[in-house]
A and B are shown apart, each in its own frame.
Chain A
Amino acid sequence: MQTAILDRTTADPLKGGYSPVTRDSVVWHVMTIPSSDVRTTETDAERAERFERDAMGYLDQLYGAALRMTRNPADAEDVVQETYAKAFSSFEQFTPGTNLKAWLYRILTNTYINTYRKAQRQPQISGSADVEDWQLARAASHTSGGLPSAERQALEKVPDSAVTDALDSLSPDFRQAVLLADVEGFSYKEIAEIMGTPIGTVMSRLNRGRKQLREKLGDYARQRGIGRESDSEDD
C-alpha cells in the first residue's frame, strides 16, 4: 500500500521516488513511501482489517494441516483458533510482504507441538525395514519396455486408508516434513522456516520419511498378496 504526499520537502530520495501523475489535466508530483511503513502509520482497527484480509484466507489450509497433525476435528479447531489468536496478537511483528503463509504455518506447528504433542501418546514409531524381496527381484529382472514396474502396479492397488495409516505411523518430524512437501507443496526453504531447522535437516527428514512410507506400503502390499505374479503355489 502506498501513500501519496504532495509536499516535496519531506521527501527522502533514498527511500522513495517521484512519479508524475496526471489527473484532471494537471500534473501532480506524487511521492511514494515504501509499503514497509504501513505498520507505523496504521491504527489498531486498520491492522485488524489487514489481518482479516490477509490471514483469514489461509483458514481452510491451516485447518487441514491441523487435522492431519491432531487427527481429530475438535483438537484441530482448537489448535487453529489458538494459532490465529497468537498470529493476531503478534501481527505487528510480521513484516508485510514476506511469506505470511509460512509464518502462519510456523505458529501452527509450534502451537501443536507445545500444546498437543506432549499430551498425546506418541504413535508407534516405525523402525527401519530391509529392502523388500520383491524390490530386489524387480531390479534383477527384465521388463518389456514401457510397462510400469511390479512395484508401481502394486502401489496402484493400495487403498487410501493404507496410505494414511502408513503416514500416521511415521515419527512426527518425518510425517510433518512429508506433509509439508508433498501435500502442502512448500519449498524446502519454506519447510525449514516452518519447522525451525536447517534445510539439510528438512531434506534428511523428507528422504527418510518417504523411504519409510514406501517400505510400509510395500509391506502392506506383500502381506495382502497384492501384485504377486503367481499366488496359487505359496498359499
Chain B
Amino acid sequence: MGDEDQCNLAMRSVHAFLHGELPEDTADQIRRHLMACEKCMDNFDAEEFIGALLKRCYGPTVAPPTLRVRVSRLSVRWQSH
C-alpha cells in the first residue's frame, strides 16, 4: 500500500481506531504508519484530545433525589403484594 493510501486509511479510520473498533491487524498497520507519518500522528493526536475534552466536559451526572423517588415508586407498588 502506497504512502498516500496509508494516509487515507488512517484518516478514514481515526475514530474506529480510537474507539477500539478496528481488527487488531488493521490497527497495527495504522500504528506502524503513525510512527512514520507526522501529519497522521498530529491528526490522531488532535482527535484523541477532542475525545478527552468531551469526556471532561460531560462528566458523570447524578440524578436529583426527587427523580429517584418518582422512579422507584413505579416498582415499589408491586413489591408490597
A residues lining the B interface (CB < 8 Å): 43-45, 47-49, 51-52, 56, 59-64, 67-68, 73, 77, 80-81, 84-85, 88, 138-139, 143, 148-149, 151-152, 155-156, 158, 160, 163-164, 167, 178-179, 181-183, 187-188, 203, 206-207, 210, 213-214, 217
Contacts and interface: CB of A to CB of B under 8 A. Distances in A.
Contacts, number: 118
Contacts of B80: 45
B46 A59 contact: no
Interface in B50-81: 50-51, 53-58, 60-64, 66-68, 70-72, 74-81
A168 B75 CA distance: 35
B73 to A, nearest CB: 10
Q: Is the interface of A mostly helix, strand, loop or mixed?
A: helix
A56 B72 contact: yes
Nearest to A145: B38
A213 B38 CA distance: 22
B46 A158 contact: no
B79 A45 contact: yes
Contacts of A182: 51, 54-55
SS class, residues of chain B in contact with chain A = helix
Contact of A88 (B15, B21, B47, B75): B75
Given A63-B63, A158-B53, A182-B55, A203 B78 contact: no
Contact of B67 (A59, A155, A156, A206): A59
Contacts of A210: 15, 47, 50
B45 A152 contact: yes
Nearest to A209: B15
CB-CB nearest 10 A-B residue pairs:
A64-B61, A48-B78, A63-B63, A149-B42, A48-B75, A183-B58, A182-B54, A52-B75, A84-B71, A160-B57
A143 B46 CA distance: 15
A188 B20 CA distance: 10
A152 B41 CA distance: 11
B16 interface: yes
Contact of A155 (B50, B72, B75): B50
B60 A217 contact: no
A33 B15 CA distance: 43
Given A48-B78, A151-B46, A152-B42, A203 B56 contact: no
Contacts of B72: 52, 56
A214 B10 CA distance: 17
A138 B42 contact: yes
B47 A60 contact: no
A208 to B, nearest CB: 10
Given A77-B66, A182-B55, A60 B75 contact: no
Contacts of B53: 155, 158, 160, 163
A47 B71 contact: no
